[in-house]
Amino acid sequence: GSTKFYDFKVQTKRITKLCTSKDIVTINGMFPGPVVYAQEGDKVIVKVTNETPFNTTIHWHGVRQKLSCWFDGPSYITQCPIQGGQSFTYQFTLVQQKGTFLWHAHVSWLRGTVYGAIVVYPKRGVPYPFKHPDGEQIIILGEYWLKDVLQLERDVLASGGVPPPTDAYLINGYPGPNYKCSANDVYKMDVIPGKRYLLRIINAALNVEHFFAIANHKLTIVEADAEYTKPFTVDRLMIAPGQTINVLVKADQPIGKYSMAMGAYMSARKVQFQKVPAVAFFQYTGASLSSFALTAQLPCYNDNLAVKTVMDGLRSLKPVNVPLQIDTNLFFTIGLNVQKCHSSNPKQNCQAANGGVLAASINNISFIMPKVSLLQAYYNKMNGHFTEDFPGVPLKMYDFVNGAPNNIPIDTQSSSGTRTRVLKYGSRVQLILQDTGTVSTENHPIHLHGYSFYVVGYGSGNYNPRTAKLNLVDPPYMNTIGVPVAGWAAIRFVADNPGVWFLHCHLEIHASWGLSMAFIVKNGNGETESLPPPPTDLPKC
Ligand code: C2O
């Protein structure tokens, strides 16, 4: 492979949307940010220089960072933030990886504006497993907030309650005509009649999973999370924040203008989400520009079946090497809960049920960000920053999804801590992710850093090892899995990448509430020798 260099300058930029102007944090003044292009096997070097006063890190979402955990990017997990005036150079190799990825800021809620695509082409001379498309286009879905996203984060966390509705959704940075002052703030993709296009769809939104559809056009899914899948044709798809899905679309309809729409999938929760879809145009050459676009039909916001349909169709292109013997069985409950309001904390308004504050946890533990990065603390054997006792099964069992969410006891007993779980290098891991219904049931997009994993099963209700059907032949190989609402998902992977790896809900609000944990993958001796030394410009806390 060759080496690709990029210069990322973190800069504020004034933009105007929805009738208002504000300063946002960007990379190189672009929103969405610059695309990183590479080929499988290439080395990518990105120098990030922070010209703003805001702490920044960049995460290369889905890049497995084999033996390069220092460059993964989550703040306080693998590095301290790049402070104003500082720079840090990320360097990683795309080992056996190609396809569509995203990069995004991984500190506070900065990824609300700091995100972009990574496109990795197959090696020279290696074709796609489908007929080469006539054209391709990145479709990156985002959210827009009139408020500054860092201020929004502070306000929401201080309230103890749920976030307000998003002000608009965005397709490639454009809200489209459904929102105020946005009649001309629309993304248009020009297509030639009869041609076939590869759309690289990325969900970079902060807090909402989305449905996506193009009026009158079928979408043939050929890749998910940068791994080829068996071609599978749908009318619409659901994509969770952090996921990427490539589809083929044929411009085979009468010449015209068709809408591409993204709208919320918000599982069981009725409130607080923007229900107005963002719209872009899929516009045929020769169509009259003033013509009305045919409206794309999106499923209803709580259409769990539409989500299941897409999930059922996701299969690896060929039979894969799923670990059959398991050395490490883990069972994680995930979900929201209410913690007691600490009246001594002036920042909390205790707006949630029973005068508590909303929190989220895995196995009843809300993750607390350490003050130094876990990887540095681990590598340098610094005491007192984390423990290695994250439980492999939930501490309490009562908050499973046995009843209607609102009839289940409110969990006020979850504890908080910076706990990690050690995985032995080379161990074959099965992890069951079980949604719980203490506050509400939701579809949580769970993302694991440093790995892809086989999604060997999922279902509704409580996981039951006797009845769960597992696909050990051709499951999809993903890095972010939307765990079904009031259901479970089973993932498997071999812990063959040493380092400290974050696992969290990719809905930013849930991660902030503590729906996160970290694995430490140690080599045979439980020591750190297998890790490369830290880069010399690694930021200090
Ligand atoms: Cu895309 Cu830890 O995130």
Q: Write the DSSP string, 24-81.
A: EEEETTBSS-PPEEEETT-EEEEEEEE-SSS-B-EEEET---TT-GGGS--BTTTB--
Report the chain's mean pLDDT, rounded to a whole number.
92
Residue 158's pLDDT is: 87
Q: How far is 268 from 270, CA to CA, in rounded Å?
A: 6
> Residue 100's closest CA among 532, 478, 523?
478
Q: What is the DSSP letter of 42?
A: -
Q: Rounded to the nearest whole angstrom, what is the distance from the C-alpha of residue 103 to the centroid of ligand 1?
A: 9
Q: Is the pLDDT of residue 528 over 80?
A: no
Predicted confidence band of residue 161 (pLDDT cuts 50, 70, 90): confident
Distance in Å, CA 249 to ligand 1 centroid: 28
Pocket of ligand 1 (CB under 6 A): 59, 61, 74, 104, 106, 242, 447, 449, 502, 504, 506
Cα 506 to averaged position of ligand 1 atoms, centre (Å): 6
Q: Encoding tokens for residue 475?
A: 């499951």
Residue 298 is predicted with a pLDDT of 95
- Give the 3-state secondary structure of 309-331: HHHHHCCECCCCCCCCCCCEEEE
Predicted pLDDT at 441: 81
Residues 155, 230: Cα–Cα separation, whole Å = 44
- Whether 175 has a pLDDT exceeding 50, the answer reads yes
Q: How far, in Å, from the CA of 522 to the mean position of ligand 1?
A: 22
Residue ranges of the domains in the chain?
A: 1-124, 130-316, 328-522
Q: How far is 102 from 203, CA to CA, in rounded Å?
A: 9
- Could you identify the residue written with the tokens 């290695």? 388
What band does 438 get if pLDDT is binned at 50, 70 and 90?
confident
Q: How far is the CA of 122 from the centre of ligand 1 (A)?
A: 24
242 C-alpha to ligand 1 centroid (Å) = 7
Residue 506 one-letter amino acid = H
Three-state SS at 307: helix
Say whether pLDDT at 79 is over 90.
yes
**How large is the average pLDDT for residues 6-25?**
97
Q: Is the pLDDT of residue 348 over 60?
A: no
Residue 526 — very low, low, confident or very high, per pLDDT cuts 50/70/90? low
Q: Which atom of ligand 1 is nearest to 241's Cα?
A: 1
Tokens of 385: 């920053």
Q: Tell me the mean pLDDT in the region 425-443.
A: 90
Q: How high is the pLDDT of residue 412? A: 66
Token pair 């509430």 is at which residue? 513
Q: What is the CATH number of domain 1-124?
A: 2.60.40.420
**Mean pLDDT value of segment 296-305:** 92
If we measure between CA atoms, which residue out of 199, 197, 173 comes closest to residue 186?
A: 173
Number of residues written out for the chain: 541
Question: Quick check: 260 and 217 in contact, CB under 8 A?
Answer: no
Residue 281 Cα to chain centre, angstroms: 25
Which ligand 1 atom is at minimum distance from the Cα of 61?
Answer: 1
Tell me what the mean pLDDT of segment 278-283 comes to: 96
- If you average pLDDT over residues 342-351, what whole number do you get? 58
Q: Which residue has the higher pLDDT, 485 or 227?
A: 227
Least confident of 68-82, 233-247, 266-280: 266-280
C-alpha 457/C-alpha 227 separation (Å) is: 18
Phi-psi category of 62—alpha, beta or left, where left has phi over 0 and alpha has psi -120 to 50? left
- Look up residue 535 and give its two tokens: 């880069």
Question: Is the preceding peptide bond at 254 cis, omega within 30 degrees of 0?
Answer: no
Q: Looking at the predicted structure, is the pLDDT value of residue 404 above 50?
A: no
Q: Do domains 1-124 and 130-316 have the same CATH topology?
A: yes
**Predicted pLDDT at 402:** 56
Ligand 1 atom closest to the CA of 104, numbered from 1: 1
Pairing state of beta strands 87-93 and 43-50? antiparallel
Measured from the Cα of 502, ligand 1's closest atom is 2
Q: Is 7 strand, coil or helix?
A: strand
> Is the C-alpha dihedral spanning 420, 422, 425, 426 positive or negative?
negative
Atom index in ligand 1 nearest the CA of residue 62 equals 1
Across 246-260, average pLDDT? 97
**Pair of tokens at residue 35:** 């695309």
pLDDT (mean) for 118-142: 98
Atom of ligand 1 nearest to the CA of 102: 1
Asked if the bond preceding 175 is cis, omega within 30° of 0, the reply is no
CB 541 within 8 A of CB 373: yes
Distance CA 96, CA 80 (A): 28
- Which residue's C-alpha comes closest to atom 3 of ligand 1? 61
Per-residue pLDDT, 205: 97
Tokens 């809300």 belong to which residue?
Answer: 366
- H or E segment and range at residue 153: helix 149-159
- Residue 537: which pLDDT band, with cuts at 50, 70 and 90? very high
Q: How many C-beta atoms lie closer than 10 Å to residue 392's C-beta? A: 12
- Provide the 8-state DSSP code for 52: S
User: For 492-514, what is the mean pLDDT?
Assistant: 96
> How does residue 409 score in pLDDT terms, banded at 50, 70 and 90?
low
Q: Indicate if the alpha-carbon torsion angle 495, 499, 500, 504 is positive or negative.
A: negative
Rounded Cα distance between 160 and 156, Å, is 7
Q: Which two tokens stand for residue 266?
A: 């918000």
Please tell me the number of Cα atoms within 13 Å of 417 on its side-chain side: 16
**Hey, which bits of 57-157 come out as E strands?**
58-61, 87-93, 99-105, 115-121, 135-144
CATH code linked to domain 328-522 = 2.60.40.420
What CATH class is the domain 130-316?
Answer: mainly beta
List the helix and strand counts (H, then E) for the chain: 4, 32
Residue 358 banded pLDDT, cuts 50, 70, 90: confident
Between the CA of residue 411 and those of 289, 342, 352, 359, 384, what are the distances in Å?
Answer: 55, 15, 12, 10, 28
How far, in Å, is the centroid of ligand 1 from the Cα of 529? Answer: 26
pLDDT band at residue 291, thresholds of 50, 70 and 90?
confident
CA 362 – ligand 1 centroid, Å: 17
